[in-house]
Amino acid sequence: MDRRTLMGASAAVTAVVSSFFTGRKAYAKTDAKVMPAGTLAPRGRFGRMERLATLDLESRQDFLMSFRTWANTDLSRAANMRGDAILAAKGIPKDADLKREEAVALLQDDPLIQTSTRAWISCQQLSWNGLKEEFDDNADKYLSEMEATDKMGPGKLELNPNAIFPDYVKHEIHIQPGGYVGSEFAGHMYHYGTNGFYTGRNTNDELHVGAASRMPIPKDGKALRILDVGCGIGQLAMALKERFPDAEVWGIDAGGPMIRYAHLRAVERGLDVNFAQRLGEDTKFPDNYFDIVTSYIMFHEVNPEGTAGHVKEAMRIVRPGGIYYPLDFKLTGVQRRTAYGQYRSWWDHRWNNEVWSLKFRANGLPDMIRKAGFDLNEQEPELLRGFGVLNATKPATS
């Protein structure tokens, strides 16, 4: 590139940047008119998601999202092919029904497969580290924002910091620093971190909105009380409120920082959603209270004892004829995993700290739901492509 071309490009970039900052001022001014006092949006929004506080951090997160996409596609395919080649060299058919331990032993020392693992995990670590640094270094600003909205409506926020919660909620799932309960900024980090997981496909809660739009309702058409268990930052709860504006919608989660951030987002959007720091196995709601009880990819992060408690509690609080739909990864009709697929599920469990994911796939959740007393229909269309169908109804005679 010669000097003239470079200078021309620089002028163009300068014009774009100038336009961006002019637009940013206008965006911030618009936000001030509609946002509650004390809330932040220093660089405007991408729809529902506030832009990160600095362009530098946003750029690094965008790069890591692109890197993750490459690691999940080209690099993962190459590792899968290497796995097949390793099996072939040992005279093992690539569709052999290997145990996970056998697949791990065969593949774990291969340089290409190790590169695939290291690339994915390093991307995860770098993403979390950048987000943690931003929120921790500017703690007063972000804490003040939450404090300004804690007691604001239209919905309610209930925090129970002195409650005793089981150990399974304290793990650093996805190697998120502090997990869901150990950092005051768990909700902030989770929001931007999982946007990276989704490689930008959920910036405006598109998956949650899609799930909410397809959520089955009781045959009598009544959907006036809805609960999202393990609601995290409230994405599904808010999407359900948008679909059912007249419903009383609750989101509960053991992670106080998660629901605090969820409440902040609901206040910003003027949505009347109630958030409470409670356990799914002890919700504190009356018997037969809800028309719909749901959850979003939560059960693979819950231990077997907690899972049983959740299902039992759902049976208690869903009213006769009501719907129980715990949305999570597919458990039935799943094709046999390749050796690399088996290895990958292991390292996701081991290195991405998905502590309960392997047990989730073997704990018999559909049978557990039936034994609790629900009628379970697993033949309905999926709420989300690639996810399981656990569309349960509490018998009207219960």
Question: Topology of 46-398 in CATH?
Answer: Rossmann fold (3.40.50)
pLDDT-flagged residues of the chain (< 70): 1-39, 332-336, 398
Supply φ then ψ for residue 353, to 5 degrees: 60, 35
Question: Three-class SS of residue 287?
Answer: coil
- In the block, tokens 């009880």 appear at 293
Work out the widest C-alpha separation in the chain, in whole angstroms.
Answer: 81
Whether the CB-CB separation of 352 and 121 falls below 8 Å is answered with yes
The structure's pTM equals 0.88
Query: What pLDDT does 349 receive?
Result: 94
Query: What pLDDT does 29 receive?
Result: 34
Supply φ then ψ for residue 44, to 5 degrees: 75, -160
Query: What pLDDT does 181 receive?
Result: 95
Query: What pLDDT does 333 receive?
Result: 56
- Please give the sequence-ordered ranges of beta strands (E in DSSP) within the chain, or none if there are none: 45-46, 49-50, 157-158, 225-229, 248-252, 273-276, 290-296, 318-327, 375-377, 391-393
Query: What pLDDT does 8 receive?
Result: 38
